[in-house]
Structure 1
């Protein structure tokens, strides 16, 4: 049952210690140096790092020595960030061939709080890598398998530098590029396209391998790597085997991941051997992300600089360098870049690359030492007389300050409500006046909640928060005493000066309803009677008591009141009756009005058309009248009037003689009598006949 086990945790103030985590004993030198300096130090493998934040409350600082990112879950990375930012712990990362950017920390939560840029701008010609992921999304990869593959692909892309190239091919019966081979600049866009990968149909692996081969064989990348993830059940195994040999001959390495117990392991193993890659048989899909992250590091940009140099002091006022006269030479480091802002570079290489850098992150501090702490790059440092002193001062600068003894946190849990009371008092038991106090609650899901503390008395503060889920809740209080502020500590320009902290843990082992260990038999009996059921003893066998016996079962009856529906129906009928009796509708009159309206509309349209035609006719008549006003046929003649204009003869008119040039005027001569025309002659004859002239 849920309440068969309970756990609690008590936070006791006292001397803390330092945790050193490494792989294959790389942190032994640092751990030994700290122990020689009198610092309580515990060294362990990365696998021993806890998953719960409360287990780090007694740790003053954490040192990660040459640890690659694939050994840390995303929850552990978030926990380390909370440990630094919210609990004020110290985080120190020491370099090596599997640390910083070379260890895949680019784009990780921990990388965001470190004082160096893990993917710096390229200052020298370094080899670039190209990675192509070939993922089987056929019907056999549905469910958890394809989801794990998508998460693994996103994790592999996250580790690459922005100058590395990446491409993703998915295949079932056909293959297609989800992400074309190119620089890993827009990682968010790549993640979005990865999330849209779904399951398909059959499995034909050869075309997908051919496309990956064609994309990489002519590229100029120094490192070309392919990760092939499938169950190997393909319709063209011979083609796939030949492509594996061709890719190996072209300098392209291929690592294969066989999914499930029914995978064609022989084919995938042969492809990996022919292409000088690695073969991973995987039965648990949860292991796929770790494999992808490990393989992605094969093509990461070479970020290791191996050359002998003497570190140069950039910031001599750092507390880490107090009392250290000269520094011995180092033989290499992991390439990083300065981050700017409040991040301080203390030591640098001869090419101005950071070697030692520090920063304040939230309430805690972080230190980055990009060279190693063993004989690989620091052989002279191990023999150096101030080696232990150097690491002691690094840890003491970054370590979490001891918890103040003048503030006590009390908690009380009632159901899902937790009450927090804070009491501040001095060594003599008198209450202290605080200038400011801020509270915070860290949930088991690594989420932060603000705790609003209100003063309830002199030196007393209280607040409440809900704790619905089981687990350990950390109450963190940051405060400043009024006397410290009066002395000038904790000014706005340096808000962390004079700040003190206090922590407490609230453990919810299980849900509140599991606290009651007795049953409520009367309530169960009442429910049974209300529903006409039965109460069965615990020792009864459900198969023998006939749970579904319907004998004597009364079907429930539900009485539905009909007053409201009937009243609404009566109102509707009443209004209809009134309308029928009082409102007269003359259908014939309505029809006549409709016909008249249609007729009027039609007649109006006809009248408008006729009016337009008449206007057009009048316009044309006016134009004709204006054009013929001066013509021959427009003139009227009387019988006794002599016509003075041109006449129309039966012969065609000849061309008019050319106009003579103007000459000097001559003396006027008497005009000859005009010659009579044929019409004039007829008119004169008619007049004579009327007068009785015999010659006419």
Structure 2
């Protein structure tokens, strides 16, 4: 057992403390003061020693071992080897030894906590991200498990191929804590593998140019492979090649026939390939030429594609069901046109991708009206409504017919999770679309109906929404009784429109006469729409109910469209969003459209009522001041809402107007983005788990830039942008392989805005490059800590070179002793030594009673005592009369007769005691 002082420099305070005590004892030389001085010396020394934080070092029994197992993809087939090593090592441990197991990849997790038992796990149970190997973070994590003041050992089972961090820095920290690091070499058996290490195309090209495509393949064996090249997800080239061992470079060419952003994807396919993760790469090029637009056509949408093609634009026409599901599917287009497209067939994710393309990359957007567009299409509170210059709700309208709406929603156990949450959100949106004069009811059902919101006038929207959102999943499914309840609650109400929406994902356990129920409801002007969710729902029944109930049937496979369906149904129930009285649009002052309106405009038949947003411009409005055409800037993109249609059914004479093609062309071209194509040279590097994107401009100006980086899924990536040199910028982002899109915006000194957009790919991790084992790194980091390579399992629990101690602070005990001595010193100063110890002596002495008292004769001449003190009666020698009285009372203690000298000495002691008390 040893002693350690944490702050030894504080011990120098003893010197001034002893000096103060010396001055005190020098001034007072009595024995009592010497004792006080000694006590104060002890108090000062103990207190200063306590402040220096002394600690008793108790040797630690046994060894603390952390097995750190690499489970990254480069050693993905070595789990059994690692577990076998650990099991054999544990069999050789002593009683006081303890161990824990940690697994690692990109991050580290605990598989088994510290234990002294001789049992370990038989298999790894945690999920590890094996795309990277972070030895630095894993070693630090493992060291945090070892008690802070104790030593120990970390045994690393790995191939040493580090892809993130710097393990040497972690090893230095282990050395400071006297923790040893050993390693056990894990290695894969030979595997055939080839990897695509480079895909290169020119960053900018012109339409019609021959693109020179270069691929580099590294292989550890010789065999055939197929090379496949795609542009914007369309395969354009396939070739089988003979791949030699080592590095292989292949050149291809392809004539670019479409302008816009071109996303190139290179792939290699080979038999018995160890890693498929390293078989593909992306790169991006901007192709200059004629703009390309995407037209999404719904029902009764007309043929605007021929008009746009005639104007020189490149046009792709698709149905809404074929919309892309990744961001790269939208960026090749300069503008997107929704022509009478319902929101009920578009997922929430697809809408978010379109919104990102418009906001961050300047893609234009046009929505045209029709019976399945705007509010009638279910776009209320969707990302599409967010980017448009109009709101789908009709604000401030009082002439809408009275409406009674009852939502009957399945809350059975199968609805638990995302389906139920989206259904509740959908119902909440419907509430927001209703007016306070409207009637709302909400019934949730499982094996019986539950009234959540009683059918009645909607007085408190917030309260109704709270009740709907509070619904939780229940038991089985029984539809008929709930539907019957909804009909009964609506049938006697005097309303112009009565509508029921039934939403379920299952089949009813029991049934009734749905036909008679619906027929009786139709007599009371009640309509019914149904929503089938998932594959387990009774589609045939629900479709039949909607047909009989004069409503609509929705077959939902993506639950994210449920909110759009319910909002569409709520709007359709009013049937007043369509303004179908012929009118002449009113032309507002707008120079951008004056060339079309010099001689007036034709008559229109109908449009969908919307409300323009505050910043929107409305070149054409109706006689009711509703927007017929509205436009605004949304982020980087320009969007337009045309609330009539392109088919001619609603636009009327406009579709037969000689300027109709010019109007359509101008409508679309106003949304085309204006930006530069290649003002920067882009390059990528990796550093400590991050990707560094370097932008180097040709002008070498130092103006600040605004950057946005999105993943292929449309997720915004957090980026740190800084200027490192004139015209050179660095963007730091997390290192995660994949395709990314970059938007750069810069404002010059004149106030002009320049926009640049491109894409780049972060290549796969070095984890998927077969580089063998990195034994040199393992040797280097173990040498720093004094560890070694282990080849025998019994060495795992060997005694460490340095003894580990547990530190036990004793400052609190010293402070306790200081308080005891301090109170003892106060007692001595208060009562004095003689009085304190004299009292103890008297109390301990037995009482002595004399048998015969001899009275001394008084002196013939009284002694003269010179003193300034007054003589009391006690100081006068007793007379014979007094002595006689004392003889009569022998039981009392007889006071000893004192001489004059004794009395004088007594008086002096009294005076000294009084002086001490007055102090």
TM bucket by the smaller chain? Answer: 0.5 to 0.7
Tell me if structure 1 keeps the 8 A contact 2:745–2:754: yes
Q: Which residue of 1 is the match for residue 807 of structure 2?
A: 564
After superposition, the Cα gap between the structure-2 partners of 1:372 and 1:234, relative to the gap in structure 1 and judged at 3 Å, is closer
Question: Pick from 498, 501, 520: which aligns with 1:227?
Answer: 501
Q: Cα offset for 1:230?
A: 3.8
Q: List alignment gaps of at least 5 residues for structure 2.
A: 1-274, 828-919
Q: Which residue of 2 is the match for residue 541 of structure 1?
A: none
Question: Pick from 452, 455, 469: which aligns with 2:721?
Answer: 452
Q: Which residue of 2 is the match for residue 674 of structure 1?
A: none
Tell me if structure 1 keeps the 8 A contact 2:718–2:733: no
2:632 matches 1:378: no
Q: List alignment gaps of at least 5 residues for structure 1.
A: 426-430, 491-497, 535-551, 585-696
2:672 matches 1:399: yes
Tell me if structure 1 keeps the 8 A contact 2:388–2:639: yes
Instruction: Give a deviation string over 1:528-579, Cα, whole Å, max 9, x none.
Output: 9978888xxxxxxxxxxxxxxxxx8998999996653496898699899989
Q: Distance in 1 between matches of 2:336 and 2:375?
A: 19
Question: Pick from 750, 754, 758: which aligns with 1:504?
Answer: 758
Q: Distance in 2 between matches of 1:525 and 1:461?
A: 38
Tell me if structure 2 keeps the 8 A contact 1:167–1:180: yes
Instruction: Give a deviation string over 1:344-386, Cα, whole Å, max 9, x none.
Output: 1111223332212222222222212111111212343333222
After superposition, the Cα gap between the structure-2 partners of 1:514 and 1:187, relative to the gap in structure 1 and judged at 3 Å, is farther
Tell me if structure 2 keeps the 8 A contact 1:306–1:331: yes
Q: Distance in 2 between matches of 1:187 and 1:54?
A: 41
Equivalent runs, 1:529-548 vs 2, <5 Å: none
Tell me if structure 1 keeps the 8 A contact 2:691–2:735: no
2:434 matches 1:125: no
Tell me if structure 2 keeps the 8 A contact 1:244–1:275: yes
Q: Which residue of 1 is the match for residue 738 of structure 2?
A: 471
2:371 matches 1:97: yes
After superposition, the Cα gap between the structure-2 partners of 1:77 and 1:392, relative to the gap in structure 1 and judged at 3 Å, is same
Q: Which residue of 2 is the match for residue 332 of structure 1?
A: 606
Tell me if structure 2 keeps the 8 A contact 1:355–1:371: yes
2:628 matches 1:355: yes
Q: Cα offset for 1:412?
A: 0.9
Q: Cα offset for 1:583?
A: 12
Q: Distance in 2 between matches of 1:570 and 1:216?
A: 81
Tell me if structure 1 keeps the 8 A contact 2:302–2:648: no
After superposition, the Cα gap between the structure-2 partners of 1:480 and 1:161, relative to the gap in structure 1 and judged at 3 Å, is same
Q: Distance in 1 between matches of 2:760 and 2:381?
A: 33
2:686 matches 1:414: yes
- Larger fraction in strand: 2
Q: Distance in 1 between matches of 2:541 and 2:301?
A: 41
Q: Distance in 2 between matches of 1:89 and 1:62?
A: 7
Tell me if structure 2 keeps the 8 A contact 1:244–1:272: no
Tell me if structure 2 keeps the 8 A contact 1:241–1:270: no
Q: Distance in 2 between matches of 1:144 and 1:87?
A: 31
Structure 1 residues 69-78 or 274-283, which shifts more? 274-283
Q: Cα offset for 1:434?
A: 6.2
Q: Distance in 2 between matches of 1:507 and 1:216?
A: 58
Q: Which has the larger radius of gyration?
A: 1
Instruction: Give a deviation string over 1:235-274, Cα, whole Å, max 9, x none.
Output: 6633777644543442222334456776667765665555
Q: Cα offset for 1:467?
A: 3.1
Tell me if structure 2 keeps the 8 A contact 1:164–1:300: no
After superposition, the Cα gap between the structure-2 partners of 1:507 and 1:369, relative to the gap in structure 1 and judged at 3 Å, is same
2:281 matches 1:10: no
Equivalent runs, 1:490-639 vs 2, <5 Å: 490=751, 498-508=752-762, 510=764, 512=765, 514-520=767-773, 522=775, 564-565=807-808
Q: Cα offset for 1:216?
A: 1.9
Q: Cα offset for 1:451?
A: 5.2
Q: Which residue of 1 is the match for residue 617 of structure 2?
A: 344
Q: Distance in 1 between matches of 2:702 and 2:579?
A: 51
Q: Which residue of 1 is the match for residue 74 of structure 2?
A: none
Q: Distance in 1 between matches of 2:397 and 2:276?
A: 58
After superposition, the Cα gap between the structure-2 partners of 1:319 and 1:514, relative to the gap in structure 1 and judged at 3 Å, is farther
Q: Which residue of 2 is the match for residue 597 of structure 1?
A: none
Q: Distance in 1 between matches of 2:735 and 2:353?
A: 20
Tell me if structure 2 keeps the 8 A contact 1:232–1:268: no
Tell me if structure 1 keeps the 8 A contact 2:742–2:758: yes
Tell me if structure 2 keeps the 8 A contact 1:434–1:481: no
Structure 1 residues 36-45 or 242-251, which shifts more? 242-251
Q: Cα offset for 1:168?
A: 2.3
Q: Distance in 2 between matches of 1:59 and 1:265?
A: 37
SS in 2 for 1:452: strand
SS in 2 for 1:67: coil
Q: Which residue of 2 is the match for residue 312 of structure 1?
A: 586
After superposition, the Cα gap between the structure-2 partners of 1:274 and 1:508, relative to the gap in structure 1 and judged at 3 Å, is same
Q: Distance in 2 between matches of 1:297 and 1:127?
A: 12
